[in-house]
Structure 1
């Protein structure tokens, strides 16, 4: 069985999948889809694989996935022998899926703000920076509640794919000028992610978050 991640190193969505593959200690192929600049995602061969032309795309044998949060779920269910990254406990599992939906929804404003700042791409939000800041405030509140319960990560005492899904937006926020001074719990949490076995960095990730 061969794992292939069609990747671009500058994209937060691709980084979250690379990060999780590394945390799991999995080997995989990593062809680059040249989209920034370039239109590699419009190449016929790539569109045949992923009709939407989004990046990344994960191929795991006969499975082809085009949404990063779905990739995290698949990798956890198929390759995590520890069973910790997507816990079986119903309450924790529900919290993980809730945070994955947040990462795919509200938190997308952070990547929009980042690509607008770096490359001048037009964001989907009228004010992507403002929307990203609001999303960070929600994360800060979630981590404060976890801290009061004596828990260190977004959905409990241990890291899950929810943390992996959220981390790139936080770690790359300097690219669009959002400082971490007003988010002390996010800062502490991000430092914990940096210390996980198998952690890898990416272009733009704060060295000391």
Structure 2
């Protein structure tokens, strides 16, 4: 296992262990986080644990033209049930992602320190959010890291049915309009698969990412 020092460095992702962990330690400084995402690496740990850095293989991604929108979701979008904004309430979106209860998880990996670190990235224009509103209440959203041609999705939440799906679909349509190559979803889950995401080999993901940097 590689233990990070104060030096701004990550080992090549080819050195990642089979469980997906590439390094432990370091900090959540803006420069380190930016280097991590540009290197195909992201932090994932719980409060009280050391910072743990991951680069899983395979990698869950969405090729934007493979987005699956169900008939029922199309109806919801056409009815304009929700209002959607971009990058207007970043901190609140992260806070809701932190607090939302998820099946099979006892706690959250979004620590308070992580919220502060990503809010700094938001102030730099790198971390961005999508907010979904119903009757002027924030009911869903997602946030992630914008690398220019690749958007790295981090987490999403929903307080009412379909709100997070609306955020996801709206984001993808925005990325399509701006000719992004990929939406990085990190690791598999069936909800993402239902939206068209699929796993690819990490080496293929890295080729796309490196051509985008």
TM-score (norm 1): 0.31
TM-score (norm 2): 0.31
The structure with more helix, counted as a fraction of residues: 1
